[in-house]
Every structure is written in structure tokens, then in C-alpha cells.
Chain A
Amino acid sequence: GEDVEQSLFLSVREGDSSVINCTYTDSSSTYLYWYKQEPGAGLQLLTYIFSNMDMKQDQRLTVLLNKKDKHLSLRIADTQTGDSAIYFCAETLGSGAGSYQLTFGKGTKLSVIP
């Protein structure tokens, strides 16, 4: 299947901005997603962006999409200790009948230093 790549770890200080990056391979993906997973829990959908958009903002979260480079990023402003978690990038698998499957990256573990 297609690969979604993320760096495995990110460490930031409380109050700073965090930027988590992701590269994907399927140019026909319709939507791209960011999920958050806290320890011992399932994945929580944070936000998603439609492929014809460049940017989406939702309170402290900003998603940037560069389709030419197949690059997606999630910026968290004013990072708090409660933001410490694993963040997964995901893309829809192609279009048409297979588009209900998602391909996930391996996750970026964000550590927030007080």
C-alpha cells in the first residue's frame, strides 16, 4: 500500500508552537486527517482537510497542505502539557470504491516540557 511518513518524536516547551509534519504518496487522496492518541486510548479525530484546500484553521490548530510536494503539517499554537500525545497523519486510499480506507502514518510522539 501507499506509505505515509512522519517523524517519530517531537519535543517542545510549554507555550511554544509545535509543528508536526507528514508526507504522503497518493495524489488522488480526497481528504487528509490528523488524529490524536493519548496513552491507553483510541484515536481521536482532531481535524481534516479537503484536498482542494491549502489551509484550515480551527482554534489552536492550523493545517497546511502542499499538494505539489504531498506535504501536510499540523501546527499547534501555545502548546500545553495536555497536548502531549501521539499524532497520526492519515490519507484516504485513492478515490472511488477504495476511498473508504485510510492509510496511517506511524505517528509522531509529541512531548511538552513544562
Chain B
Amino acid sequence: DVKVTQSSRYLVKRTGEKVFLECVQDMDHENMFWYRQDPGLGLRLIYFSYDVKMKEKGDIPEGYSVSREKKERFSLILESASTNQTSMYLCAVQGLAGGEQFFGPGTRLTVL
């Protein structure tokens, strides 16, 4: 199985700061995803990428952007963090067999 790592487990930022969340996989899979998870709302897809420099909006892209310069790395960017972006952020990589997604440990972001 692919191993997915995220740059931080916990992050505290101030309103208006630019925030970078990094996700790295240890294999060569093409499809990578960013979700946010909030109580009562489940997982919501922010952005995904199916190859280097390729990106697609998910269900809630507003306030976010992404970057995929190398195949193994997919970054989520909060251009100007706001308090409503306080959440758990999960990165996932899609495997080759059954379309299953493998998740990183998550980054709990708090915006003050």
C-alpha cells in the first residue's frame, strides 16, 4: 500500500495568513485528493489532481488553491486563512487496484 505523509499534525495560524499544507506519497500514483472533515458534515472534497500540473475543483474549492509540481507531492494553499477554515484536512492518494484511496494522518488546522 502507498504511504501518505502530511507535513504537520497540528497547525495554528492567524486570520489572513497564507497557509501551506503539504502531502507526499512514497509511490508513483497519479490521483491525489484534498478533503476537509468537519463534525456532522463528513468528508468534503476540496481539490484533486490526476497528474502533475493538473487540478480539478471538488465540491468546496472556494478559499483554497493547490499545486502539483512533482508527482509525489500535492500542496493545499489557503491564500488568506479565515476562522471558518479551522478544520481537519486529509490528503488521499488513489491506488491502482480497486480505486481505493489511502489517507494521510491528517492536519488539524486552527485559525485564530
B contact residues vs A (CB 8 Å cutoff)? 1, 4, 31, 33, 40-43, 45, 48, 50, 59, 90, 92, 94, 98-106, 108
How many inter-chain residue pairs (CB < 8 Å) link A and B? 52
Chain A residue with minimal CB distance to B43? Answer: A104
**Is the beta-carbon distance between B90 and A45 smaller than 8 angstroms?**
no
**Is the beta-carbon distance between B103 and A44 smaller than 8 angstroms?**
yes
Of residues B43, B45, B48, which shows the largest number of chain A Cβ atoms within 10 Å of its Cβ? Answer: B43
Give the total of A residues in contact with B, Cβ under 8 Å: 23
**Is the beta-carbon distance between A100 and B94 smaller than 8 angstroms?**
yes
Nearest CB in chain A: distance from B101 CB, A: 6
Q: CA of A101 to CA of B108 in the docked complex: distance in angstroms? A: 23
**9 A-B contacts (beta carbon < 8 Å):** A1-B59, A30-B98, A40-B106, A42-B104, A43-B90, A43-B101, A43-B103, A45-B100, A48-B100
**Is the beta-carbon distance between B43 and A33 smaller than 8 angstroms?**
no
Chain B residues lying within 8 Å of A50, measured Cβ to Cβ, are 98
Q: CA of A95 to CA of B31 in the docked complex: distance in angstroms? A: 16
Chain A residue with minimal CB distance to B50? Answer: A100
